[in-house]
Amino acid sequence: MIADVSKTDKIVVEKSTVPVKTAEAIEKILNVNHNGIKFQILSNPEFLAEGTAIEDLKCPDRVLIGGRETPEGKKAIQALKDVYARWVPEDRIITMNLWSAELSKLAANAILAQRISSINAMSALCEATGADVTQVAHAVGKDSRVGSRFLNASVGYGGSCFQKDILNLVYICECNGLTEVANYWKQVVHINDYQKARFVKRVVSSMFNTVSGKKIAILGFAFKKDTGDTREAAAIDVCHGLLGDNAKLSIYDPQVAESQILKDLSMNKFDWDHPLHLQQYMDPSEISKSVSVVSDAYEATKGAHGVCILTEWDEFKELDYKRIYDGMHKPAFIFDGRNVIDVDALRKIGFITYSIGKPLDPWVKDLPAAPPS
């Protein structure tokens, strides 16, 4: 389409996160259909995070621009650099070759996901030994070589980027015969899946080894706070695990619509990334027999046997947990997948609590920690 409408030479800027060598494919297509017009392809991956995208654009850590190392390529790189230089300090604009720019985006997301899987792996060990993962993460993060970001233990990472980009990296490694490297990155994904399965196992084993017929309140469905995005959200896999044991779910999220929640729970994994005509669904009416989506946290928890916190919305820190406790079946369980609650305060109210990577409640201490193989 670009070739069809171009009347003069063009710089084509690739913004999306794509497999390495995509720019080369774009270049080949345009050069075959050039009609005498010259094209320069640049890779300029974006690093905007959901919830902070405008600030990330205004004050980026860095801007990457990759292009051909030819006179024409360098001229194109400079043209795009001049655009960013209007508001980004020049020392934050990094230029490189095409392949380095494309791979840098994949590497950044893979390494961030690796940090999350690393602290989540540590959280399982903390529970087994009585250590507190928050204290461990704080100590580790004080090391200037490590830093504190992305060291918050949780039920697992989500979003449209991490899983996709790591699997993309795995594919590239396998295509280049780097089996050991591919297996290393696969393990980051495996630990993330393990963490979600481990959370479900804690819920089921704590509640007398079954949640069949029990009402479980799900607080938070988005993959992180301050967004309505549910792509690859940990809540989807946790809900599927609980529904697999015939639980009755009451779900509340301040930003995610009921239609989206029912769609996510009735869709095959990864189908959200497929064209609409290729997406396959269970009948949403079947899901709605076991799932209700409600308008506030108190309605979700009323009459519940257990509560699972799966998104770190700020409002969940401020809830009246005494009111929630009074409205629940006893014993009342709360499972914090984001470490947002004050565990000691909730135990004083009467809750049996489980918080990722924290010393275990006596109730659950002797129960199995790992999901069955």
208 is in an annotated binding site: no
Element spanning 97, H or E = strand 93-97
Q: Distance between CA 20 and CA 103 in Å, rounded?
A: 6
162 is in an annotated binding site: no
* 71, 250 Cβ separation under 8 angstroms: no
Neighbouring residues of 342: CB distance < 8 A, sequence distance ≥ 6: none
* 337, 236 Cβ separation under 8 angstroms: no
153 is in an annotated binding site: yes
224 is in an annotated binding site: yes
Q: Distance between CA 5 and CA 13 in Å, rounded?
A: 16
358 is in an annotated binding site: no
17 is in an annotated binding site: yes
Query: For residue 23, how many C-alpha atoms fall within 13 Å in the half-sphere facing its CB?
Result: 27
47 is in an annotated binding site: yes
49 is in an annotated binding site: yes
158 is in an annotated binding site: yes
154 is in an annotated binding site: yes
Select which of 59, 126, 161, 308 is catalytic: 161
Cα–Cα nearest to 265, from 42, 313, 247: 247
List alpha helices for the chain, DSSP H: 2-5, 22-32, 53-58, 71-84, 98-129, 133-141, 162-175, 179-206, 234-243, 258-266, 284-287, 297-301, 321-326, 343-349
330 is in an annotated binding site: no
- In the chain, the amino acid numbered 11 is I
Is residue 161 annotated as a catalytic residue, yes or no?
yes
Annotated binding site for NAD(+): 17, 50, 164, 231
Annotated binding site: 17, 47-50, 105, 150-154, 158, 164, 224, 231
Query: Which residues does the annotation mark as catalytic?
Result: 161
Annotated binding site for substrate: 47-50, 105, 150-154, 158, 224
